Structure 1
Amino acid sequence: MDIHKPKPWHGVREFLKEYVIIVVGVLTALGAEAIVENLHERRLSAEAKEAVRDEINVDLTNVARRAQWEPCLARRLDEISALLDRADAGEAFKPPAEVGGPLLPTIYTQRWTAATAGGRTSLLSSDEQRAYGRVYNQLDHLDAKQGAEAEAWLRLGALNTLRHLTPEAIYDQRLAVAKARQMNQLVQSNIRQIRVFAGRLGIKGDANLQMAPSEAARVPTACMPFYGPGK
């Protein structure tokens, strides 16, 4: 086996030449690696941004559907208050056929959670992280408030089964009405904030939800006659 011994350098000039070749080669390799890594991070950042924007757009479209039913909710709470006033005055109590409640839009935050857990949101600029974070913070608040609102309407739903209202029951129902009104106001405030923050990101809430016809035509039970059809 022939062993080739390294050739000795002949002078400083040859040494510098070899040195420059090695340094340039290393720097070129590092530069190419940095470019590839930068392109990879940009792709991940773009994918994360597109995913969360789509998710926010769906959420915004969902909550917009609720707005059209707000008059029904206000009217139903007024009807319940009037019923409680009559019962409190000793008048005959006639249980409603339907109390109902609001349609609670589903709030999606899974994509933002996954992107954050995977470190992809850190690839966004500080301003972008702050802007998207504001939207999702309001979405989280909205989801919690809708849960509290649903509990208030669940208590009001007991009126469907009662045949007599004691003073204690009247008091409890008045508290539930007040709670439902308060949570509705808070929910509407949250929705306004979501629209403002999403609007600053250019998200309009125009997603195609592709709902079944029966779901698209669904009406909250709070919009149905209080004492039944024709009453």
Structure 2
Amino acid sequence: MDLHKPKPWHGLREFLKEYLIIVVGVLTALAAEQTVEWLHWQHQVHVAKDAITYDLKRLLAQSAHKDAILPCQAERMGALSDALDQAQVSHRLPPLGPVGRPYTPAWSMRSWNGLTTGQTLAHMANRDQILLTAIEGSGDYNKGRALAERDAWAVVQTMFGPGRPTSDSEIAALRQALSRVSTAALDTRFVALGLETIIARSGFLTPKEVDQAFKEGVAEAKKAPFCAPPKVPPAHTRDVILDIMTNPPMRPGDMPLRTEGVGNAIATER
């Protein structure tokens, strides 16, 4: 095997020539690596924007739903408050059908975990980072308020039944629960309206997409079971509970999914 010994440099000129070749080679390799990485993150951002669009349509529709269902909620709460006024005099809760509760969505961006842990968010424009962080923060706040509202409705739901004796302390507790429902619902609505504005002005959705998601949320609210006329009071409270809890098992895939703003799609196409 022949071994080629490196030739010695003859003067500064040859040294600089060799040095320049090495430097240019290293810089070229680094530039190529940076270009490949840039293209990779550009692709990741492009794919992420599909998921972001999906999430923002959902949140916009959920916000529209909350806004549109509040008149039904106010009417239902007014009727329940009247029932408590009546019970305050008679010391009996009147016969009431199942109270129910309005739809309480998750208010979450499904893509947020992937955006942050996958470092895609850090490679987006500063404006987009700020807007998405604000949207996620608003959704996270509404998530907490939705849970508080749901817990308060669970107390209010104890009013339904064929009618029964009650006490001043129970009536006071039920009024407090109605107050918590009202406070949480109004807080959620206020934050949701701000969320709508951020989404509409973010540029992630086209005006047509904003309008379509909003209309879908309003349409879902109008046909929500909570807005239907109150049901007939049951002869026995247990009948309603058993009717709910003794339904036969459902096959996987038979449960209808509710995803407003995206036509009930469970994910993006990519």
- TM category (shorter chain) comes to 0.7 to 0.9
Say whether residues 1:188 and 2:193 are aligned partners.
Answer: no
Q: Tell me the TM-score normalized by structure 1.
A: 0.85
Q: What residue number does 1:197 align with?
A: 198
Distance in 2, Cα, partners of 1:68 & 1:220? 14
Unaligned runs of 5+ in 1: none
Opposite residue 188 of structure 1, the aligned amino acid is: R
Cα deviation 1:139-174 (Å, max 9, x = unaligned): 011111111101111111111135122111111111
The 8 Å contact of residues 138 and 191 in structure 2, kept in 1 or not, is answered as yes
User: Alpha-carbon deviation of 1:73?
Assistant: 0.6
Q: What residue number does 2:20 align with?
A: 20
Distance in 2, Cα, partners of 1:116 & 1:15? 48
Say whether residues 1:50 and 2:50 are aligned partners.
Answer: yes
Unaligned runs of 5+ in 2: 234-270
User: Alpha-carbon deviation of 1:217?
Assistant: 8.4
The 8 Å contact of residues 72 and 226 in structure 2, kept in 1 or not, is answered as no
Say whether residues 1:220 and 2:246 are aligned partners.
Answer: no
The 8 Å contact of residues 66 and 189 in structure 2, kept in 1 or not, is answered as no
SS of aligned partner of 2:103: coil
The 8 Å contact of residues 93 and 159 in structure 2, kept in 1 or not, is answered as no
Q: What residue number does 2:29 align with?
A: 29
The 8 Å contact of residues 63 and 105 in structure 1, kept in 2 or not, is answered as no
Q: CA RMSD in A?
A: 2.6
Bigger-Rg structure (1/2): 1
CA 1:173–1:222 in 2, change beyond 3 Å: closer, same or farther?
Answer: farther
The 8 Å contact of residues 108 and 143 in structure 2, kept in 1 or not, is answered as no
The 8 Å contact of residues 96 and 159 in structure 1, kept in 2 or not, is answered as yes
Count the aligned residue pairs. 223
Distance in 2, Cα, partners of 1:128 & 1:165? 55
Identity among equivalent positions (%) equals 32
Alignment of 1:124-139 (within 5 A): 124-139=124-139
Alignment of 1:28-107 (within 5 A): 28-90=28-90, 93-107=93-107
Q: Tell me the TM-score normalized by structure 2.
A: 0.73
The 8 Å contact of residues 152 and 180 in structure 1, kept in 2 or not, is answered as yes
Distance in 1, Cα, partners of 2:181 & 2:155? 10
